[in-house]
Amino acid sequence: MPDISYPVVVAAAKTWFKLGAVDVQMEGIEHLPETGGALLAVNHTSYVDYLMAGYPSVARGRYTRFMAKREVFDHPVGGPVMRSFKHISVDRSAGLESMDVAAEALRRGEIVGIFPEATISRSFLIKDLKTGAVRIAARAGAPLIPVVTWGCQRMFTKDHPKDFKRGKTVLVKVGEPMYPTGADPVAETAELRSRMEALLDACIREYPAEEQPPGSWWLPASYGGSAPTLEEAEAIDAEEKRKRAARKREKAMKKRKK
């Protein structure tokens, strides 16, 4: 089935970049294969990461099929949109099945995108990674390519108002491919995280200083910003998860009473 939605969104994104003076600077796109499958492991700092992390593939004449939680596909509006892009539904209660679906897409020659941190990093640093990325790549015999974006969090992320004002820079760095064997997923995941951290460090240090003054809320504390530390962010995430679970229990109780 031909792609219909993707070209339209790519054209709209390019128009936005031009009219909004969004300076998207990409490096390392030569690491993306022109043909054949590849799994992109992307850091997660914002709600527009899909768009920016998929842009290097577009530069290579290809599209990225992102893995996303099943709840997005269950949404009456979001579901049809996600399926039109041929993105991949992830059921967290059926992890092996989701990995099989992603591996099959890689074997078909697709570029697949995954966020191994699972959720947005409030610290904007690389969180602990799930082992799914290396396991999927090993299962499919596909290269695993780290991709890091920086600057997207300034536009639309957790705990902060949207800001799509003109004149923002976004850096996208594509690293050299890894070839996981799956023999030691924990060690291979640690290597992936190390590579992503190196790319992120380069992004932060190369970002225009005038757009990233000391104390900026979008800058990690370890780089002179006021974002939460990894530990503080983890505590916030845990509280958010607790409240979400409580709301679900309350909703379920109300249903049983009806």
Is pLDDT larger for residue 196 or for residue 83? 196
Distance CA(76)–CA(97), nearest Å, equals: 23
Distance CA(131)–CA(133), nearest Å, equals: 6
From residue 4, alpha-carbon distances to 76, 77, 144, 251 in Å are 19, 17, 27, 38
Mean pLDDT of the chain: 92
CB count in 10 Å sphere of residue 135: 20
pLDDT in tens, 134-179: 999 999 999 999 999 999 999 999 999 999 999 999 999 999 999 9
Instruction: Give me the CATH code for the 5-226 domain, please.
Output: 3.40.1130.10
Name the nearest CA neighbour of 53 among 138, 171, 167: 171
Q: What is the pLDDT of residue 258?
A: 67
pLDDT in tens, 197-236: 999 999 999 999 999 999 999 999 999 999 999 999 999 9
What would the two tokens of residue 196 be? 């992503």
Residue 15: how many CA atoms within 13 Å on its side-chain side? Answer: 6
Confidence class for position 93, pLDDT limits 50, 70, 90 = low
Distance CA(155)–CA(51), nearest Å, equals: 12
Confidence class for position 85, pLDDT limits 50, 70, 90 = confident
Q: What is the pLDDT of residue 75?
A: 72
Q: Would you kindly state where each structural domain of the chain is located, as residue ranges?
A: 5-226, 228-258
> Among the listed ranges 54-58, 65-69, 82-86, which one has the minimum average pLDDT value?
82-86
Q: What is the pLDDT of residue 3?
A: 78
Is pLDDT larger for residue 91 or for residue 230? 230
Distance CA(127)–CA(120), nearest Å, equals: 9
Is pLDDT larger for residue 177 or for residue 87? 177
The sign of the CA dihedral 89, 92, 97, 103 is positive
